[in-house]
Amino acid sequence: MNDKRQKQTDDAGVSIDQKLIEEGTAQLNSEIQVLEAWLSELDSSDQENSEVLAARKSYNDMLSSRKEMLSTLAKQAKLQPVARN
């Protein structure tokens, strides 16, 4: 390949750009921090109405999803050898 970017290939032959993995990891970490901050704000709030409960459930679901994606991305990155130029 003429591409100067670092590449990583999985068993299915799909090429994964190392920079994309790093950017995805940073994005997921950022989203996790935001969701945790929102949940903290909700937890410190005195309100327990249906909107707050729905928001808390939604944020917890999103947080769980982001953490699962981050874990999967980390495992995938560790399983595959990284081609370095």
| 13: containing domain | 7-83
Closest CA to 42 of 55, 28, 23, 61: 55
**Cβ pair 35, 55 in contact under 8 A:** no
The answer to the question of residue 1 being in a domain is no
Q: How many domains does the chain have?
A: 1
Q: For residue 77, what pLDDT is reported?
A: 80
Q: For residue 8, what pLDDT is reported?
A: 47
pLDDT tens column, 3-47: 444 444 444 445 567 788 889 999 999 999 999 999 999 999 888
pLDDT tens column, 49-61: 899 999 999 999 9
The 3-class secondary structure across the chain, one letter per residue, is: CCCCCCEEECCCCCEEEHHHHHHHHHHHHHHHHHHHHHHHHHHHCCCCCHHHHHHHHHHHHHHHHHHHHHHHHHHHHHHCCEECC
The answer to the question of residue 2 being in a domain is no
Closest CA to 19 of 79, 65, 68, 85: 85
